[in-house]
Homo-oligomer: A and B are copies of this chain.
Amino acid sequence: MNPLDRTLVQRLDLVATLTDEDRDALRALSLTHKTVAAGTDIVVENQEVHHSCLLVDGFVHRYRDTREGKRQIIAFHVPGDIVDLHSLKFEKLDHNVAATIRCDLAFIRHEELWDLCMSRPNIAAALWRETLIDGSIFRRWIVALGRMSGIQRTAHLLCELTMRLHAMNTAQTQHFHLPLTQNELADALGLTVVTVNRTLQTLKQRGLVERNRTMLTIRNWPALAQIAGFEATYLHLRNPPAMDFSEDRQANASA
């Protein structure tokens, strides 16, 4: 099966309306595949690039360092995302993209992508919408960083990632792979590792989520969404996943 089917095509179907011809045109894109190790910088600030990078498998984050050497993570990406679609219209990048874990990537030349946009307005619209959703998520992070407490922010991030992974079927139950260290969570949340550690303990004590290394278990989605003030509309999904884990909960009750 074409790797684009369960990544880019599936992703764009989540957020836009494509025709069969659009999908075929997407499948016809020529890809350059590459696998990179955890921690690899995929694209770095000020670099000039002529292709965009589709995340096929793994987990990616975008970040920037301050002059004092502190790191702020700006975004996370799940399989199916084009992690630097913005580079299509920028000469130089203003931040870095790195592989959080070992990743399978597929590169698409800008020229070819732009030609596709010109010949298929639907696809241009879908990709533009993708970059706008990116921006919508940024806005929500700004609100979280500026006006929400540590525990609210943490809950919000976990809600967002859970929903995005479920939307793409990368996660399918209340118990799934979330390959982030507390350090990475801290750098995304504008907190320190110590605080994140304590915050996660609080969330566990309250029976909301449990995290163990690379696994996350949602124990009480409604309550988690409640303290996060999470509503999925800002992800602009056409059919947001239900997030009803009651069946799982029974199945896992014995565990």
Which of A's residues lie within 8 Å of B, judged by CB?
Answer: 46, 62, 64, 66-67, 70-72, 74-75, 86, 89-90, 92, 94-95, 118, 121, 124-125, 128-129, 131-132, 134-136, 138-143, 145-148, 187-190, 229, 233-234, 236
Which residues of B lie under 8 Å from residue A75 when comparing CB positions? Answer: 139
- The number of times this chain is found in the oligomer is 2
Which residues of B lie under 8 Å from residue A94 when comparing CB positions? Answer: 136, 139-140, 233-234, 236
Knowing A86-B136, A124-B124, A139-B95 are in contact, say whether A145-B145 is a contact too (CB < 8 A).
yes
Chain A at the B interface: SS class: helix
Q: Is the pair A142, B142 in contact by a Cβ cutoff of 8 Å?
A: yes
Q: Is the pair B142, A70 in contact by a Cβ cutoff of 8 Å?
A: no
Residue on B with the closest CB to A141?
B142
Q: Is the pair A89, B129 in contact by a Cβ cutoff of 8 Å?
A: yes
Q: Is the pair B147, A89 in contact by a Cβ cutoff of 8 Å?
A: no
CA distance A129 to B92 in the complex (A): 13
Which of B131, B190, B236 has a CB less than 8 Å from the CB of A132?
A: B131
Most central of A71, A146, A187 by chain B CB within 10 Å: A146
Which residues of B lie under 8 Å from residue A136 when comparing CB positions? Answer: 86, 90, 94
